[in-house]
Structure 1
Amino acid sequence: MTTSYSLNNDSQAAKVLNELYAEAEKQRSGAGNRLTAEAGAVLTPLERFTALKHRYMPIDRPFGNLMYSLLRASQAKTIVEFGTSFGISTIFLAAAARDNGFGKVITTEFIAEKAERARENLTRAGLVDWVEFRVGDALQTLSDPLPGPVDFLFLDGEKSLYLDMVRRVEPQMATGCLIASDNTDHQGAEPYLQYMRDPQQGYVSTPILTQGGPKAHSGHEISFRL
């Protein structure tokens, strides 16, 4: 089988990723794009994400490459993403599905405007046919039927909801499902990490750091469903 290798530097997917990362960096360096710590502390998660609906919050490129590699190696078919944003992470996931030659990414985004931008970016990357977009509260949208047992779950939304998301998807997880979670060094992820690292819950879970992006390093968790 001939594959398209969507993340090669000369591929359309790679070009769109480069554009989006450049836009994210330009935005990050500009003035007036951040909530102050004081303002952020008094907002609910919904209010905070709504206030930041125009802001890029991308995964770092090394972690995207890691997820692409894990998906290619595991041959995952049903891939679920919590937190589409503008679709940068979705490009990594959908590229792996296309290069494997099968599979579907079911991605969820609370803000309809961001989901539409993500759809446009996935279309430009030539990957939109590999993605199903669900808009709204992920705990509700993921109650709808999925195309098959979940082989890969990516968590990149509100950290305090990570544990709820895992519990929502657990009944549909395949044995051997991989769970990749971003920014697990952020406040709110502690209950999730305690759960995933408890052997009684049926996971083998490992923290990792990647270098890249605006921070010196980013914290993640990779977990395997026994």
Structure 2
Amino acid sequence: MTNTLLDSPAAHVLDKLFADAEQQMAKFRDAAQNQPKPEPVDQTPFERFSARKDLYMPIDRPFGNLMYSLIRATQARTVVEFGTSFGISTIYLAAAVRDNGAGKVITSEFIPEKAETAKKNLTDADLVDLIDFRVGDALMTLNEPLPGQVDFVFLDGEKSMYLDILKVLEPHMKSGCLISSDNTDHDGVENFLAYLHDPANGYVSTPLLTLGGSKHHSGHEVSLRL
């Protein structure tokens, strides 16, 4: 069975991006130890993401491997991603679609500079032909036509928007669509999780942790659309 994550341009790009992200995180940890913690400031999502436009904020490798496995196992062809960032997660999604034989990854990124960097990374990974990049407010860009029913959704953008994005995509989801959500152990996803856990809304949903990466462990939710 083909595995684009092994000994390929995609694998080499992932190695480089994870190394860069870890180096960046180490610098922030060192700086945080030597500086007082700033007072919290109320910011809009645009202000938060603009301030973090140079940050990787990547998924960890175990979660990337899990999503690759889920897409392969379900033979997903149409994958939608909310939150491209620099394209680490997009590489995992596109690698799985490539190994399934056909399909498309529709990915939405709010910050144009990040989208351009992601496009270069996907080009270097030899996967850019599988990507439909949509730049801007995902509530608008993901409301544009999609190439068929959605088989798999990955949510990793502004946490307070998860529920709104889910509802935008619901009419396009096939029965059996999987929704994989990152950072669901963070604040701001309470209403989203309550919606997924209410059987009346048509989901079976499970929280999980993956171990590894700079955060040591990460919280996620994997949900099945009935």
TM range (shorter): over 0.9
Q: Answer yes or no: is 1:24 the counterpart of 2:21.
A: yes
Give ranges in structure 1 of 5+ residues lacking alignment: none
Give the Å deviation of 1:37. Answer: 6.3
Q: Once the two structures are superposed, what CA deviation does each residue of 1:42-84 show, in whole Å capped at 9, x if it has no partner?
A: 2222101100001110001100000000000000111000000
Give the Å deviation of 1:216. Answer: 2.4
Distance 1:33 1:57 in 2: 17
Q: Once the two structures are superposed, what CA deviation does each residue of 1:171-211 show, in whole Å capped at 9, x if it has no partner?
A: 11101000000000001011100000110000000000000
Q: Answer yes or no: is 1:188 the counterpart of 2:188.
A: yes
**Change beyond 3 A, Cα 1:160–1:123:** same
Give the Å deviation of 1:11. Answer: 1.2
Give ranges in structure 2 of 5+ residues lacking alignment: none
Give the Å deviation of 1:38. Answer: 4.4
Distance 2:82 2:206 in 1: 20
Q: Once the two structures are superposed, what CA deviation does each residue of 1:108-146 show, in whole Å capped at 9, x if it has no partner?
A: 000000000000000000000011100000000011100
**Change beyond 3 A, Cα 1:26–1:83:** same
Q: Secondary structure at the match of 2:48?
A: helix
Matched residues, number: 223
Q: Secondary structure at the match of 1:170?
A: helix
Q: 1:15 aligns with which of 12, 17, 23?
A: 12
Distance 1:91 1:188 in 2: 26
State the TM-score, normalized to the length of structure 1: 0.95
Percent of aligned positions that are identical: 65
Q: 2:4 aligns with which of 3, 6, 15?
A: 6
Q: Which amino acid aligns with 1:172?
A: H
Q: Secondary structure at the match of 1:215?
A: coil
Distance 1:63 1:99 in 2: 18
State the TM-score, normalized to the length of structure 2: 0.95
